Amino acid sequence: MKILITGATGFVGSHLSDLLHNSGHEVFSLVRTPSKAKEFDVKGTIIRGNLNTTKTHDWVAELPVDLDAVVHAAGIVHSFEDRSFYTINTESTRQLIEDLSFKFPNLKFVLISSLAASGPSKRYQTEDQVPDPVSVYGKSKLAAERILTNEAPANWQKSIIRPPMVIGPRDPAVLDVFKMVKKGFVPSLGRKGGKKLYSFVAVFDLIESIKLCLEKETEGTEVYFSAFPKAVEFKDLLLAIANKLDKKAPYIIPLPITPIKIATKFLARRKPEGMRLTPDKINEILPKAWTCSADKTTKSLGQVYKWDLDHIIEATIKDYKARGWL
């Protein structure tokens, strides 16, 4: 197949370009900065462009007329401004679909969404549950899902993948947790932060989910959670990282919720570069569980999840050290 990847220099997109290229597909990678594409060795034909909603997407003309599929992996996770989530995650999705629909009446379109679009859950939630996002980020992703479902051409084959916490090489987001574990202490909102339950997925299993969606013939829109079948408590995640770093279990420092909320809102006015604990992100940290079921991907897509927590942490640490990040 001939496949376009947006966000090809991102964490998931760069790994996906590797897998699809090595699987014999012809990949077209949309990138904003060619230097980053070189750093992550992004595969395929490099197409320079972006999804800025205020500009015409002239780069679409560079795509072959017989393009088969699109994987929309571009987006943002952190921002101090709510409108940025909707501009980049929602409106850019609408604009991308509109631009592509003029040239490609038949496409497979895979949208990489997030468990945040569905919301937290005490039990392993399934794809048929009513979404209830608690963050602006999650709401912007859910809005993008609805645009794909309701506004994309009816004859497109549409798939939505909602991954939970993604772990793997090249990821700068989870790197912060690894660094804190290495130092021996990890702050946590509230006294029971260590007992919070999270689903996770290794990036290598996630890109396999995407590949399986591309290979499957569907009608309408299908939604999937891509997640390792067993969730993990936060303290056990930290312990697994510590073990692979040959460190003792880190001390979890409980932080009072209200003062941290106030401090975060104050800092948000200054928009400090590199700060990931934003007011919106706190809305995702507070719930006791973020879990989802892998049943649909294993039964409908035939996926076998190969990367457990220990193996993906080991691979991630190896990559971080090789890059000088850890």
Give DSSP secondary structure letters for 221-286. EEEEE---SS-EEHHHHHHHHHHHTT-PPPEEEEE-HHHHHHHHHHHHTT--TT----HHHHHHHS
Give the residue carrying structure tokens 């015409």.
56
AA letter at 236: D
State the CATH architecture for 2-164+201-227+291-308.
Answer: 3-Layer(aba) Sandwich (3.40)
Mapped onto helix, strand or coil, the DSSP state of residue 203 is helix
Q: Kindly report the backbone phi and psi dihedral angles of residue 221, in degrees, each rounded to the nearest multiple of 5, phi listed first.
A: -120, 130
Contact, 20 vs 27, CB < 8 A? yes
Q: Kindly report the backbone phi and psi dihedral angles of residue 154, in degrees, each rounded to the nearest multiple of 5, phi listed first.
A: -65, -30
Task: Enter the tokens of residue 212.
Answer: 């399986």
Would you tell me the crossing angle of helices 234-244 and 172-183 to the nearest 10 degrees? 80
Q: Which helix (H) or strand (E) holds 176?
A: helix 172-183
Task: Enter the tokens of residue 168.
Answer: 């793997």
Of the chain, the percentage scoring pLDDT greater than 90 comes to 75
Q: CA 308 from chain center: how many Å? A: 18
Give the residue carrying structure tokens 């209200």.
258
The pLDDT score that the predictor gives to residue 8 is 92
Q: What is the pLDDT of residues 223-252, one digit of tens each?
A: 999 999 999 999 999 999 999 999 999 999
pTM of the model: 0.94
HSE-up of residue 89 (Cα within 13 Å, Cβ side): 27
pLDDT band, very low/low/confident/very high, at 271 (cuts 50, 70, 90):
low
HSE-up of residue 60 (Cα within 13 Å, Cβ side): 16
HSE-up of residue 88 (Cα within 13 Å, Cβ side): 18
Spatial distance between the Cα atoms of 97 and 88, rounded to a whole number of angstroms? 13
The pLDDT score that the predictor gives to residue 273 is 63
Average pLDDT over every residue of 258-266: 78
Which residues, 6+ apart, have CB-to-CB distance to 310 below 8 Å?
240, 243, 244
Q: Which of 250, 243, 232 is nearest to 196 (CA)?
A: 232
pLDDT band, very low/low/confident/very high, at 172 (cuts 50, 70, 90):
confident
Q: What is the pLDDT of residues 75-119, one digit of tens each?
A: 999 888 889 999 999 999 999 999 999 899 999 999 999 999 999
Q: What is the pLDDT of residues 17-36, one digit of tens each?
A: 999 999 999 999 999 887 87
Spatial distance between the Cα atoms of 50 and 68, rounded to a whole number of angstroms? 20
Q: Would the pLDDT of 58 be above 90?
A: no
CA distances from 153 to 15, 109, 186, 219 (A): 28, 10, 47, 12
Spatial distance between the Cα atoms of 240 and 2, rounded to a whole number of angstroms? 39
Average pLDDT over every residue of 160-181: 95
Classify residue 167 by its DSSP letter: E
pLDDT band, very low/low/confident/very high, at 274 (cuts 50, 70, 90):
low
The pLDDT score that the predictor gives to residue 261 is 78
Q: What is the pLDDT of residues 276-288, one digit of tens each?
A: 778 888 889 989 9
Q: Would the pLDDT of 59 be above 80?
A: yes
Classify residue 123 by its DSSP letter: S
